[in-house]
Structure 1
Amino acid sequence: MKKKHIRLLSFAIIAIIAFAFIGCATTSQVEPIEPTAAPQPVVEEVQVQPVEQPAQTVVEPEVPVVVGETTQEVAEGTKVVKIITTSDMHGNIFPYDFMRNTEAATSQMHVSAYVEEQRSKDQSVILLDNGDVLQGQPIVYYYNFVATETPHIVPSVMNDMGYDAASVGNHDIEAGPDVYTKVYDQADYPYVAANAVSIATGEPVIDPYVVIERDGLKIAILGMVTPYIPKWLPQNLYEGVRFEDMVQTAKKWIPIIQETESPDLIVGLFHAGVDETYSGDADELGNENASKLVAQQVEGFDVIFTGHDHQDTNMVVQSPSGKEVVIVGAMNGGRSVAVATARFSPSGSSYSLESIDGSTIMMETYEPNSELIAKYQDAIDEVTTWVSREVGSISETISSRDSMFGDSKFVDLIHQIQLEKTGADLSVSAPLSLDATIEEGPVYVRDMFSLYPYENLLFTMEMTGREIKAFLEYSYENWFNQMKSLDDDLINFKRDAEGNLIFNTRYNTYDTATRYYNYDSFAGINYVVDITKPAGQRVTIKTLTKGNAFQYDKTYTVAINSYRAQGGGGHLAAAGITPEVALDRILFSTDKDLRYYLMEAFEKKGEIEPSVDNNWLVIPNLWVQRGMKNSYPKLYPAK
């Protein structure tokens, strides 16, 4: 299939950045392909009233995860369409972990083997991806920002695997317009994102949906992305684009699809999860994870594929009319694929949907596609050589585990480089890995991905002393528990309705009130955190580290990453700084991500001697030590 030409916006301000987003608001039709053919990447708010949610029934299957698929007898004349969806691959293309220099148990190559197996059966197969392919493993970083003159590895592999369509993930946009424009143009498959809308025209900037034909049947795929992107990413990454509410968008496009295309099956391909309460109220306009809400509130869907939350999902919910809608989602990194099997029976001169079943298939039991690996062996070797390049050395081992409980060498290394790069008065940062270690001795490119996993830019912005205090109170409110006895936890863990801790099998640890990458501390000021005091009264700022008095009414320059400066984590909102105000406060932005500058620092200095300046302390010490002892095994359970 050939994609149609993309329309260019006429506004000069977005002429370059919007290329990857601009497209027709009508559909592309995907022609039928042979089972062995190999066809295939990437990208504020609409003021509408919240929709009242009717009470709905959710039916959870007893065993949502299956290792294999059961065979079901197919009646003569029945047509079977199997839709296989990957999600949140995050660069796990090959069965090799470039960060740890080890084999990987799952990858896109494992998925490829499964897909080829399914294509060999008497059924039609559709292969979809649900976003977040352009961030994660060093191999995608290499093709995003290093080997920029060569074809990108992601669409090359996905073309070879025969993907039929893909949604857009927030981390795909994070890679930047130069990257996702290139990927989009190289892909032989369409990207769909109905709720990524041009501010200038009000129309989707790429195709909202695509129709795929298989064995005389028309399958309509409506794509959407989580509308939370403006809360995480700076506007220069998606200039001229707003991200609209998923429920409202689906209500607009489903009637259009039904009337224009008369499809036999309507599929949602949503880079959004099913827990509508994860980041806010279920009634919130522009809900981050609205996939289930769409199924419950919008009539017309037969199956919805979810993503973004990295969860293995398999459930059935009821639409407004009481129709059952299958919701199924894959785990990240190719650990599982989401599958919907639709059966169509003859009905006069046409076919009608007889049944549709959802399942999630684990990939670790499949052998990776050796032929495809062999084809890309040169690329694998090239990236292996790159990540194995020594960039410097470190005089002692540092671990992110120390960062969970107080000031640490791990985070202070980031603070130090942020301050040196920006010349700001202060620096704010969090540990971005729960359990990363940089070993004493030589440091390699791969270590930078453990030290700093995300492609954040580095900003310098202005904040008043009063705002900094409120920012810190918010951070430590969510980070530390208020200890009332020596038997309490230091860490603020999440609890269920009965007050019990919640164990997360995905991460093999207990859930915390907020994720560790929101555990923000400041450098450049001296302060204490009293964990016996209630939230909002814990932080006492003493002085600037240089010795000057800290003034609440004075404005300071702060080195801060782009995620936090854009409002990610809610810290700025807690300080009373809206995204619009934050944008006006930004004085400087790097043109490369923070990981680049970390590598640069090692290369310039040769050897780095990590140190902790103890500019902030958690008190009282005895309580802290006991709280750490109580919390440590919950954060890091014995394996």
Structure 2
Amino acid sequence: MKRLTCCLAWMFLLIGAVAAQDKEVKLKIVQTSDIHGNFYPHDFILQREAAGSLARVHAFVQKARETYKDNLILLDNGDILQGQPTAYYYNYIDTVSLHVTADMLNFMGYDAANMGNHDVETGRAVFDRWAGDCRAPVLGANIIDTATGEPHFRPYKVLERDGVKIAVLGMITPAIPVWLSENLWRGLRFDDMEETARKWMKIIREKERPDIVIGMFHAGQDALLMGGKYRENASLDVARNVPGFDIVLMGHDHARECKKVQNVAGDSVLVMDPASNGIVVSDIDITVTLRNGKVTDKQIDGVLTETAPYGISGEFMKRFSPQYATIQDFVSKRIGRFTKTVSTRPAYFGSSAFIDLIHTLQLDISGAEISLAAPLSYDTQIKEGDIYVYDMFNLYKYENMLYTMKLSGKEVHDALEMSYDLWTNRMTSPDDHILLLRDQPREGAADRAAFKNFSFNFDSAAGIIYTVDVTKPCGSKVTILSMADGTPFHMDKMYTVALNSYRGNGGGELLTKGAGISQDELKERIISSTDKDLRYYLMQYIEQKKVIEPRALGQWKFIPEEWAVPASKRDYEFLFGTNRN
């Protein structure tokens, strides 16, 4: 009896020990962001192999799933519907088929997606259709339906893996009204990220009681106020100021980031950004220790992982080969001919054939007196000869509308002053840089390269004759001499100005901060807007003209030329090497 009692006691102790034993759960979180239609390992615009792509992401994910199986969580952080012609075709040309972007996310097993500003740019008919086609929820806690006061998209998604509860809260930068025409998002508003995060963190904590909270924000980390009221790029502010997040996944600014920050409660938050195009992914390993179903410990580590070593998913390519053929046929249509090669490279140093072609088309299409335009792509060219649909995505990168607005001469002048202040260095000696450059190019930000600021805010003008003195401070750089036809230019006269909808809505703040027009007043200045994107009208224009002879208009230049000319040569070679286009 004593032996039996002893054995039973040991059995109960053993059972108790097993019951109290810790359980370890390993999870992997994979984030993509700013894919911009880069689905295939082929650039349909440049007609060459593309780095990154969802095809490479899929190869990486499938390899990781061999280890993690269902414990791999796949997330996309927005700006997936705009960029390559693949997305454009299913946004606007084939609007009946299952949207290829949703089809791909479904095929790859994404667990949640987030809205980005360029997704909103496609318009409600497109992004609502896409979201409806996605099996995983599209998130947007701070995208509010003005009729109901409720989020237009699901604010968050709760996922459970092996006894661990993970909540993913999605938000977008609220600065949409500064960039996009209201007709694209009518009936919606975009609330402040930090206020929204506080509200939903409380709800998520009380209602869901998650073990891990992930913030997936289509916003970068360098916060600033836009249009006087929209906090842009507030991801880091939320990570630090709103306790409860274990991980904050960023996007939008196309700049790689992987670091840990401390929030106001003293807790560590992993902050990551995989830049763009699926070249790298945010690759996060989480180890959670459970005891009796309760989390006793969690370890979170992240790295940015290159997708190239994993190759291209043959399964992905086979599954989406019909759509690939459709897009190749679409972009291969010939629409006209250019008599010379044009490049954005000379546009940073004076009047150029590339930007002046945009100016000429904007003036012809709108009938305006003055045109404002910038290089939307940092470094691109269209070669002499036949022009195809794919060249149009090179000529004009974004789906902007063409606005005609009323601006005074002084407002045009002041907008240009801010533009050239973003663009040019103030030279104090002939050996200085003429361009405003960063000390170190930002990793992963290829569309910014060595510039301190984005080139899509470097507006020049056509329809007026002017000089830019690179030795003068902001406010004194630009001198407008006359209209292009030689008639006087007046600071107090109201002019019709052709410009894209991004600029017309306050994008880059050239009209608000630069010209001093309030965000609310901008709407009143719009005389007309095209109903389709500018690229559509540029394509029509070239098809009608058949032969385009691009040329620099020569309506502006940098002075003093004895400093500007050699400095331009040096900076050109610094940026692009010695092969001048």
Considering the TM-score relative to the shorter chain, is it more than 0.5? yes
| Alpha-carbon distance change, 556 to 455 in structure 1, aligned in 2, over 3 angstroms | same
Q: Which amino acid aligns with 2:140?
A: A
Q: Residue by residue, what CA displacement relative to the aligned partner does 1:496-549 show, whole Å, maximum 9, x if unpaired?
A: xxxxx2333435686324221111111111122222222211222122122322
- Aligned partners of 1:264 and 1:353 also within 8 Å: no
- Taking the aligned partners of 2:290 and 2:428, their CA distance within structure 1 comes to 68
Note if 1:229 corresponds to 2:229. Answer: no
Q: Residue by residue, what CA displacement relative to the aligned partner does 1:397-452 show, whole Å, maximum 9, x if unpaired?
A: 11111111011111111011111111111111112122111111111111111111
Deviation at 1:339, TM superposition (A): 2.2
- Taking the aligned partners of 1:120 and 1:260, their CA distance within structure 2 comes to 33
1:631 corresponds to: 571
Deviation at 1:578, TM superposition (A): 1.5
* Correspondences of 1:170-319 after superposition (within 5 Å): 170-276=117-223, 279=224, 286-319=230-263
Could you tell me which of 364, 377, 380 is aligned with 2:324? 380
Name the larger-Rg structure. 2
Could you tell me which of 266, 270, 280 is aligned with 1:322? 266
Deviation at 1:240, TM superposition (A): 2.4
Deviation at 1:637, TM superposition (A): 5.1
1:79 corresponds to: 25
Deviation at 1:287, TM superposition (A): 2.7
- Taking the aligned partners of 1:503 and 1:265, their CA distance within structure 2 comes to 35
* Correspondences of 1:549-560 after superposition (within 5 Å): 549-560=488-499
Note if 1:475 corresponds to 2:413. Answer: no
Could you tell me which of 503, 520, 524 is aligned with 2:441? 503
Note if 1:338 corresponds to 2:282. Answer: yes
Note if 1:583 corresponds to 2:530. Answer: no
- Taking the aligned partners of 1:478 and 1:344, their CA distance within structure 2 comes to 47
- Taking the aligned partners of 2:168 and 2:445, their CA distance within structure 1 comes to 31
- Taking the aligned partners of 1:484 and 1:351, their CA distance within structure 2 comes to 61
- Determine which structure has the larger helix proportion and give its number: 2
Could you tell me which of 414, 421, 433 is aligned with 2:377? 433
* Correspondences of 1:51-62 after superposition (within 5 Å): none
Q: Which amino acid aligns with 1:565?
A: G
1:43 corresponds to: none
Q: Which amino acid aligns with 2:573?
A: P
* Correspondences of 1:79-98 after superposition (within 5 Å): 79-98=25-44
- Taking the aligned partners of 2:293 and 2:571, their CA distance within structure 1 comes to 66
Deviation at 1:138, TM superposition (A): 1.2
Question: Secondary structure of 1:113's partner?
Answer: helix
1:38 corresponds to: none
- Aligned partners of 1:303 and 1:340 also within 8 Å: no
Question: Secondary structure of 1:127's partner?
Answer: strand
Deviation at 1:285, TM superposition (A): 6.6
Q: Which amino acid aligns with 2:444?
A: R
- Taking the aligned partners of 2:297 and 2:142, their CA distance within structure 1 comes to 28
| Alpha-carbon distance change, 326 to 285 in structure 1, aligned in 2, over 3 angstroms | farther
Q: Which amino acid aligns with 1:575?
A: A
- Taking the aligned partners of 1:561 and 1:440, their CA distance within structure 2 comes to 26
Question: Secondary structure of 1:592's partner?
Answer: coil
- Aligned partners of 2:174 and 2:191 also within 8 Å: yes
Q: Residue by residue, what CA displacement relative to the aligned partner does 1:152-174 show, whole Å, maximum 9, x if unpaired?
A: 11001111111111111011001
2:465 corresponds to: 526
Q: Which amino acid aligns with 1:482?
A: R
Question: Secondary structure of 1:78's partner?
Answer: strand
Deviation at 1:122, TM superposition (A): 4.6
| Alpha-carbon distance change, 638 to 221 in structure 1, aligned in 2, over 3 angstroms | farther
Q: Which amino acid aligns with 1:525?
A: I
Note if 1:566 corresponds to 2:510. Answer: no
Note if 1:542 corresponds to 2:488. Answer: no
- Taking the aligned partners of 1:267 and 1:183, their CA distance within structure 2 comes to 23
- Taking the aligned partners of 2:407 and 2:567, their CA distance within structure 1 comes to 32
1:148 corresponds to: 95
Q: Which amino acid aligns with 1:523?
A: A
What TM-score, normalized to structure 1? 0.84
- Taking the aligned partners of 1:435 and 1:602, their CA distance within structure 2 comes to 22
Q: Residue by residue, what CA displacement relative to the aligned partner does 1:62-86 show, whole Å, maximum 9, x if unpaired?
A: xxxxxxxxxxxxx973111211111
Question: Secondary structure of 1:365's partner?
Answer: helix
1:393 corresponds to: 337
- Taking the aligned partners of 2:182 and 2:108, their CA distance within structure 1 comes to 33
Could you tell me which of 57, 79, 84 is aligned with 1:132? 79
- Structure 2 unmatched runs, 5+: 1-20
Deviation at 1:587, TM superposition (A): 1.0
- Taking the aligned partners of 2:258 and 2:419, their CA distance within structure 1 comes to 35
Could you tell me which of 391, 397, 406 is aligned with 2:350? 406
Q: Determine what percentage of the aligned residue pairs are the same residue.
A: 43
| Alpha-carbon distance change, 84 to 507 in structure 1, aligned in 2, over 3 angstroms | closer
| Alpha-carbon distance change, 332 to 421 in structure 1, aligned in 2, over 3 angstroms | same
- Taking the aligned partners of 1:349 and 1:414, their CA distance within structure 2 comes to 62
* Correspondences of 1:356-367 after superposition (within 5 Å): 356-367=300-311
Question: Secondary structure of 1:206's partner?
Answer: coil
- Aligned partners of 1:88 and 1:130 also within 8 Å: yes
- Taking the aligned partners of 2:222 and 2:557, their CA distance within structure 1 comes to 36
- Aligned partners of 1:564 and 1:571 also within 8 Å: yes
- Aligned partners of 1:220 and 1:266 also within 8 Å: yes
Bigger mean CA deviation after superposition, 267-276 or 508-517: 508-517
* Correspondences of 1:157-172 after superposition (within 5 Å): 157-172=104-119
Question: Secondary structure of 1:121's partner?
Answer: helix
1:68 corresponds to: none
Deviation at 1:476, TM superposition (A): 1.8
Question: Secondary structure of 1:355's partner?
Answer: strand
Q: Residue by residue, what CA displacement relative to the aligned partner does 1:553-611 show, whole Å, maximum 9, x if unpaired?
A: 21111111000001111110111111211101101111111111111111111110112
Note if 1:457 corresponds to 2:401. Answer: yes
2:12 corresponds to: none
| Alpha-carbon distance change, 637 to 212 in structure 1, aligned in 2, over 3 angstroms | farther
Deviation at 1:306, TM superposition (A): 1.2
1:118 corresponds to: 64
- Taking the aligned partners of 2:530 and 2:97, their CA distance within structure 1 comes to 25
- Taking the aligned partners of 1:91 and 1:138, their CA distance within structure 2 comes to 7
- Compute the RMSD of aligned alpha carbons: 1.9
Q: Residue by residue, what CA displacement relative to the aligned partner does 1:50-108 show, whole Å, maximum 9, x if unpaired?
A: xxxxxxxxxxxxxxxxxxxxxxxxx9731112111111111111111111111223210
- Aligned partners of 2:255 and 2:445 also within 8 Å: no
Question: Secondary structure of 2:232's partner?
Answer: coil
Could you tell me which of 559, 563, 580 is aligned with 1:619? 559
Question: Secondary structure of 1:614's partner?
Answer: coil
Deviation at 1:111, TM superposition (A): 1.0
Deviation at 1:205, TM superposition (A): 1.7
Bigger mean CA deviation after superposition, 560-569 or 142-151: 142-151
- Aligned partners of 1:246 and 1:286 also within 8 Å: no
Deviation at 1:181, TM superposition (A): 1.4
Deviation at 1:280, TM superposition (A): 5.3
Q: Which amino acid aligns with 2:465?
A: N
1:606 corresponds to: 546
- Taking the aligned partners of 1:419 and 1:110, their CA distance within structure 2 comes to 42
- Aligned partners of 1:479 and 1:491 also within 8 Å: yes
Q: Residue by residue, what CA displacement relative to the aligned partner does 1:188-239 show, whole Å, maximum 9, x if unpaired?
A: 1101111112334332221111111222322111111112212211222111
